[in-house]
Structure 1
């Protein structure tokens, strides 16, 4: 066993892992398997308060994610992080890209 592993340049633990997979599933068990988890966690808070965040953003389009989160906490009693607010705004495309002042000055000078 050790000589075979040395010859092919693999560890004995790798050999035994492959051997176990081969015994259980045959040649199909030796194919690469996906590394991603089978069940991913679904965002629950985002879906729960999504409509409220969208409504606030449409009413106050200049408010930042921190201000919206603080407003929800004080006025509505909903504790939600600014990053969650950002994810909702990004998902619904309610985030505007801001242009830097330096770029605007360059274009103005031209």
Structure 2
């Protein structure tokens, strides 16, 4: 919410917000309401995680879905490796899916 308010104070040309998590996206939606901006008519908002109940807020939150069980398993394996002395850096790319709901609209040019 605070970051979105700061961004809105700096520019009136914002048309979309991509938040790092669904909870941050909820804060962005709150800030838009405080400024009497409509989502998605004025500003589109997208989150990440596809947390439960994201489809129950108004507007329904567009989000990037990742399988939490796979994410947890990979994080656990990395943590165990670090505990066992593995100092290597490993990159893991997990499959994601864009879940389109009503918080996004086509870009306005």
TM-score, reference length from structure 1: 0.21
Whichever structure has more strand as a proportion of its residues is 2
TM-score, reference length from structure 2: 0.21
**Comparing both chains, which one has the higher relative contact order based on Cα–Cα distances under 8 Å and sequence gaps of 6 or more?**
2
Specify the structure having the higher radius of gyration (Cα): 1
